[in-house]
Homo-oligomer: A and B are copies of this chain.
């Protein structure tokens, strides 16, 4: 059986990456691609790397055009999905790469996003746990899926095992991320110009204002059975000169009494059977190049007794495991397909 797909936001980075992955998916027919101001133009004009989709033309993003497909992907700016999701009421499967359906707390939504609040959908990070059950289980047969924020899922995957096992203190997390600009989308903002990014490291959203913070707190609280306000995180992203990639360095205090073995075991237990989230051997740490184009999150773990902190370094391709790969992996699960279909664990390096 082949599933028909429509992708909105197809001229952007997240939409383009969903298309790149789906183009190699044997069970998927990409039938419709939509955009806003670029509607009417060939897709390949905006995604010149997607040669196998050169026959597609961007259509308008309307509920009518998106309807009638087995699967609809929404890759729209935050705050725009909601207006479509209501009108897609009878679509068999809708996957939103935006933030609109991620948060369970309206208070958090109002504080970090604002605008209309929308009901939370099943969260598209299969390897995280909620109440001790892998998110994967909730995704089976799901019809509405919220793909994660790229920084959020990277940090959540980094620390969830330790929080769940109680070997780290979730009350004083510090995360600093080296990130590529593609996570910010194809936005015409001065600080995203190449001249401003080449050869320089640029911090942004310093001091607790980044919108992915409530998403991390929500995921870690769910993983750890902790109240949301028990999770505190200092979160600083830094733009660095690579088009894509996230390298998240996250630390949390070692819980009293936790042995080195306890700590490593927490991550090993959580991810030992996972394909796309892998704990590296002791003393090894990942580079973003290792996961370029891959759906893999690679995790290196150090126990720093002098600082009394666990340091977790995680590499993710923000557009794959951080966004589009998470969406396709979740889709595979929802549809009952092999979870790794059209996804690779191998990065493109050097």
Q: Is A1 an interface residue (CB 8 A)?
A: no
Asked whether A198 lies within 8 Å of B176 as measured between CB atoms, the reply is no
With contacts A48-B290, A345-B51 known, is A309 near B174, CB below 8 A? yes
Asked whether A249 lies within 8 Å of B238 as measured between CB atoms, the reply is yes
With contacts A178-B238, A245-B201 known, is A302 near B208, CB below 8 A? yes
Asked whether B311 lies within 8 Å of A206 as measured between CB atoms, the reply is yes
Q: Which residues of B contact A293 (CB under 8 A)?
A: 293, 348
A141 to chain B, nearest CB (A): 28
Asked whether A178 lies within 8 Å of B181 as measured between CB atoms, the reply is no
Q: Is A261 an interface residue (CB 8 A)?
A: no
Asked whether B247 lies within 8 Å of A203 as measured between CB atoms, the reply is yes
Q: Is A251 an interface residue (CB 8 A)?
A: yes
Q: Is A119 an interface residue (CB 8 A)?
A: no
**CB-based closest 10 A-B pairs:** A207-B302, A49-B347, A194-B197, A200-B289, A176-B176, A201-B247, A49-B349, A234-B307, A208-B304, A195-B350
Supply 6 further A-B pairs (C-beta < 8 A) apart from A202-B287, A203-B247. A24-B346, A51-B346, A186-B190, A188-B188, A196-B350, A200-B287
A residues in contact (CB < 8 Å) with B: 13, 16, 20, 23-24, 47-53, 172, 174, 176, 178, 180-182, 186, 188-190, 192-204, 206-208, 232-236, 238-245, 247, 249, 251, 253, 278, 284-294, 296, 298, 300, 302-309, 311, 313, 315, 344-350
